[in-house]
Amino acid sequence: EQIEKGGYEHFMLKEIFEQPKSILDTMRGRLLVEEGIIKMAGIWDHQERLTNASRIIIIACGTSWHAGLIGEYLIEEFARIPVEVEYASEFRYRNPILSEKDVVIAISQSGETADTMAALKLAKERGAFIYGICNVVDSSIARITDAGSYTHAGPEIGVASTKAFTAQLTILSLIALKLGKHNGHLSNQEFMKLITELDQLPNKVQEVLDSTNEHVKEIAKNYIDATNFLYLGRGYNYPSALEGALKLKEISYIHAEGYPAAEMKHGPIALIDENMPIVIIAPKRGHYDKIVSNVQEIKARKGQVIAVVNDGDEQVASMADHVIEIPDTSECFSPIIAAVPLQLLSYYIAVYRGANVDQPRNLAKSVTVE
The footprint of ligand G6P on residues 106-135 (CB under 6 A) is 108-110, 113, 116
Q: Which is nearer to ligand G6P, 227 or 362 (CB)?
A: 362
Q: Interface with ligand G6P includes 87 (CB under 6 A)?
A: no
Alpha-helical (H) ranges within the chain are 11-17, 19-27, 41-44, 47-51, 62-79, 88-91, 114-125, 140-144, 163-182, 188-199, 201-221, 237-252, 288-300, 315-319, 334-352
DSSP bridge partners of 83:
56
Q: Which is nearer to ligand G6P, 151 or 304 (CB)?
A: 151
Task: Write down the least CB distance from residue 319 to ligand G6P, Å.
Answer: 33
Least Cα distance to 233 among 177, 161, 306 occurs for: 306
Q: Are 355 and 252 in contact (CB under 8 A)?
A: yes
- The piece of 1-9, 25-33, 104-112, 301-309 that touches ligand G6P (CB under 6 A) is 104-112
Is-catalytic flag, 302? no
Q: Please measure the distance between the N-terminal and C-terminal CA atoms of the chain and give it in whole angstroms.
A: 30
Q: Interface with ligand G6P includes 356 (CB under 6 A)?
A: no
Q: Which is nearer to ligand G6P, 181 or 247 (CB)?
A: 247
Q: Interface with ligand G6P includes 144 (CB under 6 A)?
A: no
C-alpha 56 chain-centroid distance? 18
Interaction pattern, residues 158-177, with ligand G6P; x per rule: CB under 6 A: -xxx----------------
Q: Which residues contact 338 (CB under 8 A, 6 or more apart)?
A: 233, 237, 240, 281, 283, 308, 326
Catalytic residue among 124, 217, 299, 365: 365
Q: Interface with ligand G6P includes 63 (CB under 6 A)?
A: yes
| Residue positions annotated with a catalytic role | 365
Contact footprint for ligand G6P (CB under 6 A): 61-64, 108-110, 113, 116, 159-161, 363, 365-367
